[in-house]
Structure 1
């Protein structure tokens, strides 16, 4: 995986998309080289594990980018259980879900544009620009959680191998 670097003087949308994709890639890197037991291992009192964080990020990608702007999403389970991975959900299933959510989000960004307005889950009017910034924050926050959990599993740290 090549480390993405946002353009230092490029267009705003390019900067935002490269930034979010850089951190999305880090999220997936945190799973690489681990087996199913390791990605499901809860290592915090709340039960946080690597795979549950990827599932959560898939749900919020769909929610913020698609739901906010009236775009279709695939059927998802109970949003209150987005941090729970069932025994029938494989690592490949969750990674594929995240990939589809990312693709749907990118399509929404490109079709709606940064100044496009939507209605968030709590009824607030938000711009696509705001959603992109919020999701960069959300993704980096959880990538940081994943960094700690991954370090507890095998000592691996950082944003790329």
Structure 2
């Protein structure tokens, strides 16, 4: 467990999944299922929870190592806590964990309609490297994904 201000990080375990999924369904119109999270943890992907001093879940992320970089599978801040810098804290922890594991960068996909996330990723130093057509489910259609990458050479975040 690692402290960050009054908050702390802890590994995501199966015991966290009910709480994580409850946040996920509030945060996203097309949320991951409990089974998606369970399968990811079982596959050895690294899940991390950000919690307040009282244990309240503030956010989480899941990382999958792919050769020499981390693939950010899911990141979320509890909806009522968004806009308070927790997304940046989570990104800083994602970079710290990835560097600690010897990775050279972080790859992610984001919906073009998720303007808030796009702005945070761009300010953090992520650069668009591609687009995946019809990647995400959307109401009655599919939505593309913007593929972004942060390499340590372009990292503008506080290390």
Say which structure, 1 or 2, has more relative contact order (CA 8 Å, 6+ apart): 1
Please tell me whether Structure 1 or Structure 2 has the larger radius of gyration of its CA atoms.
1
**In proportion to residue count, which structure has more strand?**
2
